[in-house]
Every structure is written in C-alpha cells, then in structure tokens.
Amino acid sequence: MAEASGGILKRLKLHAMPMKNCLHTVLAALALVVATPASAQAPTYPQKLVRIVVPNGAGGPTDLIARVMAQKLSESMGQSFIVENRLGAGGVVGTESVARTAADGYTLLFSASGAMVITPHLNKKLPYNGYQDFAPIANAATAPMILVTGPSSGIQSLADLIQQARQKPGQLNYSTAGIGTPPHLAAELLKSSIGIDVVHVPYKGVPQADAAVMSGEVSFMFGQPVIAQMARAGKLKMLAITTPKRSPLVPDVPTLSEAGVPGFDVVPWYGLFAPAKTPEDIVQRLNQELIKLQGNKDYVDRLTALGFEIPPAHSPADFAQFLGRESAKWQKVISQAGIKGE
C-alpha cells in the first residue's frame, strides 16, 4: 500500500513541472491566435512592386524626379518602386490610367502641376477631373521660373521691361513652349498684375523658345532654373525669379515681388498622387516616406543639381488645400486672359 502511495506521489511530482510549462505554451499560443487576425487584416504596405506612372516621356523633368524618388523609396520601404512612362494625348492617357486603376497603393501617379491644376480649365472634355479624381500624397519638388531677356534687348531690369512695355504697347513679345504652359500663364499673370500689353509667341518646344530670346526674336520669357547656366555664359540676362523668397539656386536674383510686382508667386511643382479612395493609412505612409527623404542628402543633392527645390514638409491635407488654391488661381488667369486650349 505504501509502495502504491509512493508511486502515485512520484507520478504527481513528475507531472508538476510539465503542467507549468504547458501553461506558458497555452498562453503563448493564445497570444499568437489573437495577433494573427490583426496582422492578416492590416499587412505592412507595400507587399509587392509599386508602379509610379509618369504621363510624359523619359528624360523630361517629371521623369527625372520620379526616377530619383523611386530609387530612394525602394531603399527605404523594402520593395521595388519602378517608373513607367505612359504617353499619349499630352499626358491624358497616363493620368487617366491611374485614375481608373485599383485604389490599393500599387499604382501611383507622378505629375507636373499643369496637368492637375491648369489643363482641366483649358480642356473641359478631359476623362478625369484634375486633382479631384486622385488622393493627393505630397508635393515632391518645385521648379521656380526665372524671368530672362536677351543680351541685345537693352533691358537691364524688370523696371526697364515694364517701362519699355508701357512706352510701346503691343510691341514687346515673349516666347513659351506652348499655350497653357506654366511660363505662358506666368507671363499672363505678370501682364495683368502690372497692366502691360505684351504679345505671346508660342514655339514648338523649350529649346526653340530659349533660342528666340537669345537671338532677340522676342523680348523675354520665363524659363526653368537650368536657364541660369545660359545666363552665366552671357547668352541671357536674369531679371527676377518667380518665388516668394529668393532661391538658393540663384541667390543673387531678386524675386518679382522685390523687383516691383508685390505678391507674385508662381512656382511649378511635381506631386505624387494615388487613385481616389486609396486607404488613408497608405496615403499617410507614402507622405511620411517623402518627408523622410528631405533628410536624405543624396536625394536632395541630386534634385538640386537638376535645378529643383524640395518643398517644406506637409501633410496630404495640406497638399490638397494647396491644390485648391492653385486651381482657383489659374482658373482666374485663364478666364481673364481668354486663353483657349490647343
């Protein structure tokens, strides 16, 4: 009997330790069961390759910025971001393709300002409603314009330009790469702001518009910051820059506000968008990743070398409000100037 009792006690002692370990195992399993559904419901974005659609050709400013950005996002987010150029109908084909794709964050749009806040006011038959058919993520880069004149124009400052325009109404002209482009609208805004009569001469492209100013064929133009290289070579003279504050790209060039046109602010930009109804957490994540890139020296240096500036950090909501102001501003300029799309 004693032996039997001892055997029972021995078996109880043997099972005591495994029971304790078993309790830990059960608790761990329960924690895993509880955690698994949440993880399945909200997987970390991105889980696969992300396409950034650029509705313009390779080598242009929108494409160049997008490729630098895609490389850095791939590095920081652990998945491949690639640029896909989808051309057609002046950018409409690529832009529409993103507006109509699944709102899951795996197809994004990188667009210049004109397509989102200018073209919709010039073309009422667009298959999308400008930025309102997208979820704005962030303004990734800006490209201030510089007001330039040719070396033989005799114009040494904005004041000289204004004086000549007032003395010879309708005789001074300016070049652009086409109707409805940011340089065209910047010149029309200048025209209405100071009350001068100057004539628009659109050319086939930027090189032709630049050449027209350098040769004296036209009196002035608004050009991208890279035009500063031509000015430094003596082929052009820089009169003013379109930013509210002086730009580190050309710190010696006054703003138009400083030079005599108070409140002048025209800065083309390049933004990242997702299809409308993309989950808010994905939009916010991408916004935060772009903000992080502002502290990436290689990223900033590469864009600066291309003539771009990085805008201050902002939220998707801030960007959406900015888009609304831009759209209203250009709608007014287009209406007042009677500009019609080509």
Same domain, 326 and 272: yes
The SS3 of residue 83 is: strand
What span, in angstroms and rounded, lies between the C-alpha atoms of 64 and 303? 9
Domain boundary among 208, 225, 259: 259
State whether 236 and 218 are in the same domain: yes
Of 63-67, 146-150, 226-230, the poorest mean pLDDT is in 226-230
Q: Are residues 62 and 131 in the same domain?
A: yes
Residue 211 covered by a domain: yes
- Residues 228, 153 within the same domain: yes
Domain, as residue range, for 166: 146-259
Largest pairwise CA distance in the chain: 127
- 272 and 169, same structural domain? no
21 or 194, higher pLDDT: 194
**342 confidence band (pLDDT: 50, 70, 90):** low
User: Taken in order 315, 318, 324, 327, is the CA torsion positive or negative?
Assistant: negative
Which of 205, 240, 259 terminates a domain? The answer is 259
Predicted confidence band of residue 46 (pLDDT cuts 50, 70, 90): very high
Q: Dihedral, CA atoms, 241, 245, 246, 249, nearest 10 degrees?
A: -80
Output the domain CATH number for residue 93.
3.40.190.150
Q: Cα angle at 50 between 279 and 314, to 5 degrees? A: 55
Mean pLDDT of 211-240: 93
* pLDDT classification of 5: cutoffs 50, 70, 90: very low
Answer yes or no: do 183 and 215 share one domain: yes
In a shared domain, residues 153 and 216: yes
Mean pLDDT of all residues in the chain?
88
The residue-averaged pLDDT of 201-211 equals 94
The stretch 145-167 carries a mean pLDDT of 95
Q: Report the distance separating Cα 320 and Cα 272, nearest Å.
A: 11
Q: Could you tell me if residue 306 is inside a domain?
A: yes
Total domains, the chain: 2
Q: What is the DSSP letter of 309?
A: B
Is the same domain home to 137 and 150? no
pLDDT of 13 strictly over 90: no
Q: Which has more pLDDT, 114 or 110?
A: 110
Predicted local distance difference test score (pLDDT) of residue 226: 84
Tokens at residue 151, please? Answer: 């070396």
Q: Which of 259, 281, 308 is the last residue of a domain?
A: 259
Percent of the chain, pLDDT > 90? 78
